[in-house]
Amino acid sequence: MRGAKARDGANALWGGRFAGGPAEIMERINASIAFDKRLYAQDIRGSLAHAEMLAAQGIIARKDAAAIKKGLARVLAEIESGRFVFRRSLEDIHMNVEGRLAELIGAPAGRLHTARSRNDQVATDLRLWVRDAIDDLDRRMAELQRALILQAERHADAVMPGFTHLQVAQPVTLGHHMLAYVEMIGRDRGRMADCRKRANESPLGAAALAGTAFPIDRHRTAKALGFSAPMANSIDAVSARDFALEFLAACAISAIHLSRLGEELVIWTSAQFGFVRLSDGFTTGSSIMPQKRNPDAAELVRAKAGRALGALVALATVMKGLPLAYGKDMQEDKEPVFEAADTLALCLAACAGMVADMKPDRARLAAAAEDGFANATDLADHLVGAHGMAFRAAHHATGRIVKLAEARGCRLQDLSLTEMRAVEPRLTRAVFGVLGVARSVASRRSFGGTAPARVRAAAKAARRRFP
C-alpha cells in the first residue's frame, strides 16, 4: 500500500523502544485478534493461574492479585455477553484482555505480565484450547459410534454384498459393515487421546525463551491448569508446535474416515444401488429436476476432508524451516487448528445424524448379495473342506463353474449338479447346502467375522470398549 504512514504516538505495546506507531499495512498483517480472540477463555484461565502463583510466591502483592482476579472475571463476563470491544491496534487476545484489565483496575494490571512473555502465554493458551477441542471431538466421535452400533444391532443379520475394488466380493451383513466404521472411529479417538497426553504439558513460565529470574513455581501453575507437568525446556516450551501438528494429523485421518463413510452413503442412496434411504432432513432437492433427492450432507462430508488435510499441510509448511525459538510465523498456527477442529466437529455431527437417520432396504441388500457370484469362495472352501482339494485347485475349478453360470446367465445355485460335476466330478448334492448367501454369512464365525452371532457379540463388546 503506497503512501501508508505510521500513526503518530508511541506504540502502546512496545513502550519506549519505538517512537511511532506501525504503518496501517503493518498493523493489518501483524494483528491476530480477528481469529485468536477464540482463545479468550483459555487466556483468562492462564492469567488467573499465573496471578495466583505470583502472589503465592510473594512476587506481587495479594491485594494486586485479588484486583486482577476480580478484573479478569469482569473481562470474561464482558466477552461472553458480547459487550467487549476487540481492538486491532492491540494486536492479539493477550493485549486486548490486559488492556481492558488496565482500564478496569488500573496499576495492578501492569503486574500481571511479570515473569511471563506472550511467547509462553500463547503456547499455553493454544495447548489449553487444543485440549478442550479434543475433549469435544471425543464426545462427538462417541456419539457417531453409538449411532453405528445401534444400526449394527438392528441389522446384524441383514445380508448385503461385500466389496473389494467396488466389485462384489463376498456376502457380509450390514451390521458387520457398520462395525467396521466403529473400529475406525475408535482408532481416531485413540489418536486424539494420545495427542492430548503429549499436549498436556505447561509452557507457562518459560517466558520469552530462557525462563525467568523471578522465583516462580511452574509446577503450581501447571497443576492449576490441569496440565500433567511443566515443560522441561524453556526453549522447547515456546517453540514447539508438534502438538498442534499431531492434532491436525489426527483430525485429517478422522476426516478421511468420515469421507469414506460419506462416499458410501452417496453410492448406497443412488437409484442404481438403493441400499439405504435418507430422509428430507439430510437430503436436498434440485432447482430444475423435481424428482431429485440429493445426498448433499454426505457429499459435503466427503469434500470437507480436504479442509482438514489442507490445515495439516499449511501448518507443516509454516514450521518446517523455523529456527529456535519463537518466530512470528507461529502466529499462523491458530487458523489451521481452528479450521480443522470446526470442520471435523461439523462432519462428525452430520455423520451421526445421517447414520441414525438412514433406513436400509433389507430386501434390496439381500438381492444385491445374490448378484456377482458373491458365494464363489464358499464353493471353493467346500471343495477344500469336503473333498480334500488343494485351495489353488479348488479356486481354479470354482472359476470354471462361475464362468459356466455367467454364460448361462444364472446364479451358482441355479446350475444343476450335472452341470457342476461336468467341471468337478467330486461334487455332490451337498454343495447346494453351502451356496446360499445367508448360509455363507452364517458360516463366517471366526473372530471378527460377519456371522450374525459374531456381529451381535461384537456390537455388545463395542459398547463396553467405546464408552
pLDDT at 20: 59
pLDDT at 280: 87
HEC letters along 215-227: CCCHHHHHHHCCC
Q: Cell 477441542 maps to which residue?
A: 133
> Tens of pLDDT along 9-19?
345 555 555 55
> Tens of pLDDT along 148-203?
999 999 999 999 999 989 988 889 999 999 999 999 999 999 999 999 999 999 99
pTM to 2 decimals?
A: 0.89
3-class SS at 359?
strand
List the catalytic residues. Answer: 165, 286
Measured distance CA(206)–CA(222) in Å, rounded? 12
Measured distance CA(406)–CA(353) in Å, rounded? 41
pLDDT at 7: 39
- Residues, the chain, total? 467
Measured distance CA(16)–CA(9) in Å, rounded? 11
Residue 185 corresponds to which amino acid? I
The set of residues, in sequence order, having a beta carbon less than 8 Å from that of 107 and lying 6+ positions away, is none
pLDDT at 377: 85
pLDDT at 292: 61
In DSSP terms, which residues pair with 164 in a beta bridge? 167
Nearest by Cα to 431 from 375, 392, 393, 391: 375
pLDDT at 21: 63
Per-residue pLDDT for the chain (467 aa), expressed as one digit of tens each? Answer: 333 333 333 455 555 555 556 678 887 888 899 999 999 999 999 999 999 999 999 999 999 999 999 999 999 999 999 999 999 999 999 999 999 999 999 999 999 999 999 999 999 999 999 999 999 999 999 999 999 999 999 999 999 999 989 988 889 999 999 999 999 999 999 999 999 999 999 999 999 999 999 999 999 999 999 999 999 999 999 999 999 999 999 999 999 999 999 999 999 999 999 999 999 888 766 656 656 678 899 999 999 999 999 999 999 999 999 999 999 999 999 999 999 999 999 999 999 999 999 999 999 999 998 887 878 888 888 899 888 989 999 999 999 998 998 898 888 888 889 988 999 899 889 888 888 888 888 888 999 999 999 999 999 999 999 99
pLDDT at 15: 55
Q: How far is CA 278 from the centre of its chain?
A: 23
